[in-house]
A and B are shown apart, each in its own frame.
Chain A
Amino acid sequence: MYRSQKGRYNKMLTPAALQFRQTGRAFGPRLAVDALNLTVAAGEFVALVGPSGCGKTTILNLAAGLIEPTKGEVESFGAPLKGLNPKVSYLFQQDALLPWKTLEENIALSATLSGRDGRDEAREWLERLGLEGFGDYFPAAASGGMKKRVALAQQWIPRRPLLLMDEPFSALDIHTRQRMETELLQLWDEDRRTVLFVTHDLEEAIALAGVVCVLSAGPASTIINSYRIDLPRPRAIADLRLDPRFQDLYRNIWNDLRPEVLRSHAG
């Protein structure tokens, strides 16, 4: 009972998946992120929204341990981060599939690296993602949507307790995008692992997340407000935008976000 994935006890007993305390990161003289305080509770789906260039990727890189903070600290599951964070999967903003491995081999990458044969599992995933018959394609021959699906499977399979996602669907057309958002929510509903999801699209953030945090425009970007999104689950992505509760939330959060977007365009 204490270990129940969906239970409330879980949230109180397990330390936060991520804890930023007064964290800052500078690149040379330029302060990208400053005085960042953010707690991502275990089992939560948190979305970060902010204007382009404000430091969203920087925050995920800090969480993954790919870069170190220049101020403050980052804790993950109760332990201060030193080097790579072994508890995360990270779906990068750029393409990270290995071009010389087929889609199937890419899905099975984490299995291969841990010395297991992941082929059967990879084939199941291909089927589940509607990619039967494409397993022996190389990424260069796959469409953008196919590659994102494969990348999602590649990161989902290792079952790390924390999934970082950096604008995963921004480059997709609206229909593919809604399909993938639905697929992501279905996956997430199965085990409710912790997700930190970065996007510049407020609608997407509200549709997917349980908590939406708004970042200010850079430099020295920080979180200016957080909102709990209490829309019931499971959510029907395609119709959600017509829901009055959705629209209320959108109006509220957009009031915070709009000046930041304007500021980032002015600067």
Chain B
Amino acid sequence: MRAKVAASRLGLAAVLLIGWEAGARAGVIDPFFFSRPALIAARLTEWFSTAQIWRHVGLTLLEALLAFVIGSAAGIVLGFWLGRWPLGAAVAEPFLQTANALPRVVLAPLFIFWFGLGIWSKVAFGMTLVFFLVFFNTYRGVRSVDRVLIDNARLLGASESQLLRHVLMPSALGWIFSGLEASIGLAMVGAVVGEYLGATGGLGYVIAQAEGLLDTTGMLAGMTLLAAVVLAIAAVVGRVERHLLRWQQPR
């Protein structure tokens, strides 16, 4: 089963790439607008032959990571807090809903205006994306903890912090992780969009520059690199999740 899936995936990828390459060479696809895989691969090899590209990758990663860590930590803490405090949650709800309803992309220029062209404008922007997703997931996770588990633990003498550690946390973990997984992508989007709008380095900056030169190969090479980085981080998070949620029976 697993081998079959892996083989099929590889096959599908090969068909898409070869079709693209062949189409471009046959003149069906215009390489000026769509480039082609061989050119993109060549560009990536060229980039990695100098150390320059690592600076851009590192910068984007740093911004995304900071946004991810700070944003999700804040989301988790507030999620647990309001999840256990109905009055606070009722008061905060309209504010959080309003803030969440704002199209965040329009905030990006504002953040550059406030925090400058350095990394912090990107971190702040990524945080606003990550925070709400993780917060709402955590909150929902805490609210949906089985009442009986809470009552049982309290009757057995659990304090509020023990309740958090032995019942609420593990129970909400599935929800939290589904929020975290989605927010890795968002943290990258935050970093890249921020860089795209104004920066001195980073993958978004690289892509924006290529775009300025109408260099589709450069743009697509930048995106490929971006996707690879996101997938690598997602794989790590997936590992951690599988370890922490190993009590859930595979069905």
Contact = CB atoms under 8 A, between A and B. Distances in A.
Interface of A: 64, 66, 84-85, 88-90, 92, 94-96, 98-101, 109-110, 112-114, 138, 140-141, 154, 158
Contact of A140 (B157, B158, B247): B247
A52 to B, nearest CB: 19
Contact of B156 (A66, A138, A158): A158
A46 B155 CA distance: 21
B153 A100 contact: no
A113 B155 contact: no
Interface string B156-170: 111000100011001
Indicate the member of B153, B155, B247, B248 with the most A CB atoms within 10 Å.
B155
Contact of B149 (A64, A96, A138): A96
Given A113-B158, A113-B166, A114-B157, A92 B152 contact: yes
Contact of A90 (B149, B152, B157, B248): B152
A96 B148 contact: yes
Contact of B157 (A94, A101, A113, A141): A113
Nearest to B158: A113
Contacts of B158: 113
A89 B247 contact: no
Interface residues of B, number: 19
Contact of A89 (B149, B155, B162): B155
B249 interface: yes
A96 B247 CA distance: 15
Contacts of B167: 98
Given A66-B151, A98-B149, A113-B158, 11 more contacts: A64-B155, A94-B148, A96-B151, A96-B152, A98-B153, A98-B170, A100-B245, A110-B156, A113-B156, A138-B247, A158-B157
Nearest to A105: B166
Interface string B236-251: 0000000001011100
Nearest to B246: A138
Indicate the member of B152, B167, B247 with the most A CB atoms within 10 Å.
B152
Indicate the member of A92, A96, A112, A154 with the most B CB atoms within 10 Å.
A96
B157 to A, nearest CB: 5
A138 B249 contact: yes
Interface of B: 148-149, 151-158, 162, 166-167, 170-171, 245, 247-249
A112 B151 contact: no
Contacts of B148: 92, 94-96
Nearest to A99: B247
Contact of A113 (B162, B170, B247): B162
A84 to B, nearest CB: 6
A100 B154 CA distance: 17
A248 B249 CA distance: 48
Nearest to A86: B157
Nearest to B169: A100
Contacts of B157: 110, 113-114, 158
9 tightest Cβ-Cβ pairs between the two chains A and B: A96-B152, A140-B249, A100-B170, A100-B247, A138-B247, A110-B156, A113-B157, A96-B148, A94-B148
Nearest to A83: B154
Nearest to B251: A140
Contacts of A90: 151-152, 155
Contacts of B248: 99, 140
Given A140-B248, A140-B249, A141-B249, A98 B166 contact: yes
28 contacts: A64-B155, A88-B155, A92-B148, A92-B152, A95-B148, A96-B148, A96-B152, A98-B149, A98-B166, A98-B167, A98-B170, A99-B248, A100-B170, A100-B171, A100-B247, A101-B247, A109-B166, A112-B166, A113-B156, A113-B162, A113-B166, A114-B157, A138-B247, A138-B249, A140-B247, A140-B248, A141-B249, A158-B156
A154 B155 CA distance: 12
Contacts of B247: 99-101, 138, 140
B216 to A, nearest CB: 49
A110 B152 CA distance: 10
A145 to B, nearest CB: 18
B142 to A, nearest CB: 15
Indicate the member of B154, B156, B162, B166 with the most A CB atoms within 10 Å.
B156
A109 to B, nearest CB: 6
B180 to A, nearest CB: 18
Nearest to B171: A100
A166 to B, nearest CB: 10
B241 to A, nearest CB: 13
Contacts of A113: 153, 156-158, 162, 166
